[in-house]
Chains A and B, each alone.
Chain A
Amino acid sequence: MEMGLVLAFSGAAAAAILAGIGSAIGVGLAGQAASGVMSEDPEKFGSLLLLVALPGTQGIYGFLSAFLVILKLGVTGGPIAEVNLHQGWQIFVACLPIALAGLISGIHQGKVCASGVYMVAKQPKEMTKPLILGALVETYAVLGLLITILLLNGIKL
């Protein structure tokens, strides 16, 4: 039983950590690019903020998946659910889609958004096009989240 809980916790932690790393790197890349552009043109802060924030969603998806696990296990209040080894593995594996898709897509979305920032620097009116391009990458994090949610939903404790 103990081991099952450990696995379930590891799953939640992996989702939050890996997707969080992806977003941190992604937002970092876009943020650096934005600071560079703003050193020339500080007025652009408003229009660049969205592009910098966009790769941040993976981290939120990871956090959210971790929270769903926490809710499922009842960690926030009351007795913690009994988890056997099989269920533990199930929860762990269910967390992997958002963890890994979040990690990789966050980094790549950051790259797309960083070049989007350069694009806005030269074409201030084309603010939404880079946003859409960023969202194209994010799709796979969203799909990962979707599968994680559906898998978690299917696990009976």
Chain B
Amino acid sequence: MALARVERVEIIASNLIKDELLVELQEAGLLEIEEIGSNLDLNPGQRPSVSFEALIFRLRQVIRYLSLWRKTKPGEKWLQPRPIINRLEREAILRQDWENLIAPIERLESSYRETESEIKALEKERELLLPWQNLELPLAALESTASVEVLLGRLPRSNLNELVELGKEQPLWFHEINADKRNVYLLFLIKRSALKEIESKLKELNVSFFFLPETILKKAQREETLKNILLQIEAEIKEKEKVLNSIEKQSQELSSLWPQFMIALDVFENEQQRINTYSHLGQTEKTVFLQGWIEANNITRLKHRLARFADHLAIFHRPPQEGEDPPVVLRNPPLIQPFQIITSLYGLPKPGTIDPTVVLAPFFFLFVGLCVSEAGYGLLVALLSLFFMIKVRPKGSTLLFSRLMFALGLSTIILGTLVGGWFGFPIRQLLLIDPLTQPVNFLILALILGFIQVWFGTLLKAIDCWRRERNMARSLAQIGWLILLPSIVLYGLRKIDLFGYFSLFGASLIVTFSKTKGNPLLRFLGGLYSLYDISKYLGDVLSYSRLLALGLSTSVIAMVVNTLVGTAVKIPIIGWVAAPFVFLGGHLFNLAISFLGGFVHSMRLQFVEFFTKFYEAGGKPLKPFSLQGKYVEFR
């Protein structure tokens, strides 16, 4: 219905202009370049010797480091328009000396990490020494002599008595230095002649010996006490923390460069993208060959952009041939366009089939409105998306999504007024159906809408069978359903014979044409069996009853919130303060869950009940070779 025509493009260009050609093609952003297949027997093009991959990697590292220090206002990520970069600015960025900008930050980061780990090491030393800080002996005194071994050790408190016993029997002297809940910290003097025996006995008592770490022994003087050493370590930690602080401050200052690096990253990534594209080209001695896909409407624009190379290249274009698998582009009028999102979420249509967006749009519009059915919430969503579009000026899919939300907001305002209310208060004069008192009427409305959509899906299938497959029989079977479904419903409701005859006619079409292969008897039986599909149709239509349930749940919760506000107001003094919060919080919560539910369930109705009737996904999107910014927008 609204699939844009896509054509095959082939370009042969002189080697002289291939660099400029790729620059131009990337800026134009019209043509998807396809890798040349092996069937053409051409060598893939040589990439230029420059590569930005290392630079891109470093830029990413720097960005990650700076974003640790960057202070952002809440919402800044979403509410700030993207910077716009034109060709001149891009070239300036490419020429800039990035080495000089990146290197200092890299140095800063490595000294930050280094200082951090030094502090950690010092803190660990401090922790080790802390239990021994009362040992008021210089280090030199802890050195063992020829006849006496000096040791430090920790003993579980419960074994202290046994140690005392051991001290009486053996040449062992000990002194308590410190104690905590579980352990006592001891200085042992042991006669060297009995060292082995005593050591093993001590180990039996669960003594764990402590030896001063190498790092401390190295930097400490022999006259110093452990207390002194601890003080030094603490001073050192303070010193390092000061350094760390100053690095942090510098980093915070430098984090103002963050946007600049983000822009550079985008620019260089696109540059690298172009360099990678060289290998998609086919190379001959004097020329390059490239092939790809383009939306047919854009061919003149492409030719226009390449006009200045006219002497050096030839462009050919043709419709896709049998066996080729062209990408697809959805083209719809501006009002319908936002609903393309829903189609794309399911998967783009196969080339040459129907674009379901046009037929899906009105139903989806209605369904979300019915599911949310709260005009106040619709107004909020519409205003928010409008504000977002004006303030941020999004492009591409973000813009499309904002427009979709705006449309759904409008739908909710309309349907909320007709079948719901404004923040839980229905406007009785405008109410078509009050879902709370007349749920059955609402249910009937939902089922009628469902019936129409399912019928419509079948109609599209009939058209598709005829148009694309030229399969008259399959088409007639679908037409049988188109006649049977409404007439059997009407017959059931009104018992008018005419509708009965129509139903029989429809059923006979289904029986005759549903199966077109095999012998007549099997075909007849198969056709009869196809009639059983009516249960599927029934199930599909009943599935639309969810519109009632979801619509009703929004209204009831809105009412509950208002009741709670009413209760809150009755509390003296605090009530008046709390009430607005209850009102706001409750309604915002309801808004969030009802839009989530409304969106997801309406989408499911499209995908499961509607699309299964006629739709074939499996197309791949056209991805033109272009400048693509994650952070910036390229002009």
Contacts and interface: CB of A to CB of B under 8 A. Distances in A.
B593 A143 contact: no
A150 B601 contact: no
Given A64-B553, A128-B603, A139 B439 contact: no
Interface string B581-615: 00000000000010011001101100110000000
Given A50-B596, A61-B553, A145-B553, A135 B604 contact: yes
A53 B597 CA distance: 10
A139 B543 contact: yes
A142 B549 contact: yes
B548 to A, nearest CB: 6
A128 B343 CA distance: 12
Contact of A146 (B548, B596, B597, B604): B548
Interface stretch (B22-30, B219-227, B244-252, B555-563): B555-563
Given A68-B556, A153-B439, A132 B600 contact: yes
Nearest to B589: A60
A39 interface: no
B618 to A, nearest CB: 15
A143 B557 CA distance: 18
Interface string A124-155: 00001101101110110011011001100100
A57 interface: yes
Interface residues of A, number: 27
Contact of B545 (A57, A128, A138, A143): A143
B470 to A, nearest CB: 34
B553 A143 contact: no
Given A136-B604, A136-B608, A150-B440, A128 B553 contact: no
A60 B593 contact: yes
Given A64-B553, A150-B439, A56 B593 contact: yes
B586 to A, nearest CB: 12
A9 interface: no
Contacts of A136: 604, 608
Contacts of A123: none
B546 A57 contact: no
Contacts of A64: 553, 556-557, 560
Contacts of A131: 600, 603
Interface in B541-573: 543, 545-546, 548-550, 552-553, 556-557, 560, 563
A132 B557 contact: no
Contact of A142 (B440, B550, B593, B596): B550
Contact of B604 (A56, A76, A132): A132
Nearest to B548: A146
A18 to B, nearest CB: 17
A67 B596 contact: no
B345 interface: yes
Nearest to B542: A143
B604 A53 contact: no
A54 interface: yes
A149 B549 CA distance: 8
Nearest to A152: B439
Contacts of A60: 553, 557, 593
A41 to B, nearest CB: 13
Contacts of A128: 345, 603
Most buried by B among A54, A67, A142: A142
A146 B604 CA distance: 18
B545 A146 contact: yes
Contact of B596 (A53, A132, A139): A53
A146 B593 contact: no
Interface in A7-64: 50, 53-54, 56-57, 60-61, 64
A138 B553 CA distance: 14
A95 to B, nearest CB: 14
B68 to A, nearest CB: 13
Contacts of A138: 601
Contact of A57 (B560, B563, B597, B607): B597
Nearest to A146: B549
Interface string B301-321: 000000000000000000000
Chain A to chain B: the 7 pairs with minimum beta-carbon distance, closest first: A146-B549, A142-B546, A135-B600, A135-B604, A128-B345, A142-B549, A145-B549
Interface of B: 345, 439-440, 443, 543, 545-546, 548-550, 552-553, 556-557, 560, 563, 593, 596-597, 600-601, 603-604, 607-608
15 contacts: A54-B596, A60-B553, A60-B557, A64-B560, A67-B560, A134-B600, A135-B603, A136-B604, A139-B546, A143-B545, A145-B549, A146-B548, A146-B549, A149-B548, A150-B439
